Chain A
């Protein structure tokens, strides 16, 4: 049995953990630079406010309903996510954190211990709520895809209680019949349209298709999805928890950037972010993409990107920063109003198994990086940085409605009235 557990409107719920004045109010959270709505509490969803729409377009509706606006407080979300995952982790010996607010549990040999998955789900929900004040939904199913479907039912269906279980032919059919194909894990918008042409509308319609035929028409991925929907596990546990094959850090600027110092500072900051992510998952990269461009909606669209091959695979922030230094004079063009820049590590390999090169010696300094990571973990991220990152903060995000970092910074901990 698998379970998928995720937090309900995680960002919006996280904002409510320490700000009691908005516990009962409708809340939306905006993306980087306060651009789009990325999370909306259930009350806002009821108002029919769509996600991923630009904030300025919806400002009047939100104002009319007194919706609370927040900028993304990543420091807070990351810490609350860690705590939530640690609580969930206690419910099975096999746990995989899929994203900041979603994780899978796998249960081998639990059927003797767990009498009712439904009750077990509610135990998980209650425990997470009590310890973290974050609401979660829990779905159980014999395959990861069915667990995900049950999770959808647990939150979206009429009379949903936050827990749903697929453990019989009846419950499987009932849940799949009430889902559209677009609600299935891994079925995107374009595929939904194509499937519609074949008259496949509900998840159950898709489950009834012949997997082999669908593989010919579409892809091996869809074939697997169909088998999974029929209770045949195709995604092995390792597939579910596959490491990322590419790691990117990119960001559009709060205001257009024209200074070379600000552009370089942003790129080197992205180097640090990407390198840290690689170190965390134990990967090295062979190729880096370094890019910057102006807005495609303005005149004189300008874009440059460089693919840099590293002589020796690396996950060292300073090695990446040197690559930025190498291409920067070609990348930067005076007079361009930069809109976005970023770094991507695109050819990853495991840092445990690698080919040693006799002629190229690695410039990586693992001890230095470990020291850097340790210090930043203890004193807050970016306490210690590459000096270039500090040349300018002009490129920083716009976060006009940022809440306090209640759990990671001493001066921002909650006040308690005595």
Chain B
């Protein structure tokens, strides 16, 4: 038996894209914004006391529990059983707002205070994002 050494072909295949070998993964926002995904959670800002640092009502806060807190960091804390976002004043044991309308709050021994994480970033939507809006129920 003779075998004809011709490869069977079906259809027409084009040339491979010249860009194919340069292809990489697209940029991901997570990679840029989230340092430690296991220690990070997302929360929704509610209120106006942090506008001075650019956090507005309805913004998304990225909170990292692994980062070491420093004086003047924007933090999230458990303050009397509520999540609050403030500026940490370690020297004076105070929680500061970023708005002249809100006074500093002294952390007394009667208060429940526990650091929950550092706000490493925040996201502002310039067009309403319905998925996030639903949180405000």
How does the 8 Å CB contact mask read for A390-418 relative to B, with 1 for contact and 0 for none? Answer: 00000000000000001100111111111
List the one stretch of B8-16, B23-31, B37-45 in contact with chain A.
Answer: B37-45
Measured as residues with beta carbon below 8 angstroms from the partner, the interface class of chain A is 20 to 34
Q: Is A368 interfacial (CB-CB < 8 Å)?
A: no
Given A23-B78, A130-B66, A131-B65: A418 and B38 interface contact (C-beta under 8 Å)? no
Q: Is B88 interfacial (CB-CB < 8 Å)?
A: no
Q: Is B84 interfacial (CB-CB < 8 Å)?
A: yes
Closest to A25 in B: B81
Given A20-B78, A411-B131, A417-B83: A132 and B43 interface contact (C-beta under 8 Å)? no
Q: Is B121 interfacial (CB-CB < 8 Å)?
A: no
Q: Is B61 interfacial (CB-CB < 8 Å)?
A: yes
| Residues in A neighbouring B84, C-beta threshold 8 A | 416-418
Task: State whether A414 touches B36 (Cβ < 8 A).
Answer: no
- The prevalent SS among residues of A at the interface is helix
Contact of B46 among A20, A24, A130, A417 (CB under 8 A): A417
A-contacting residues, B41-61, CB 8 Å: 41-50, 55, 57, 61
Given A23-B78, A416-B61, A418-B50: A130 and B135 interface contact (C-beta under 8 Å)? no
| Residues in A neighbouring B50, C-beta threshold 8 A | 418
A68 to chain B, nearest CB (A): 12
Given A131-B36, A131-B65: A416 and B85 interface contact (C-beta under 8 Å)? yes
Contact of A413 among B37, B39, B44, B112 (CB under 8 A): B44
Closest to A133 in B: B65
Closest to A83 in B: B38
> Would you list 20 pairs from A and B whose C-beta atoms are within 8 A, ordered by A residue?
A18-B41, A21-B81, A86-B37, A86-B38, A87-B39, A131-B39, A406-B41, A410-B132, A410-B135, A411-B132, A415-B44, A415-B83, A416-B44, A416-B46, A416-B84, A417-B82, A418-B45, A418-B46, A418-B49, A418-B50
Interface residues of A (CB under 8 A from B): 18, 20-21, 23-24, 83-84, 86-87, 130-133, 406-407, 410-418
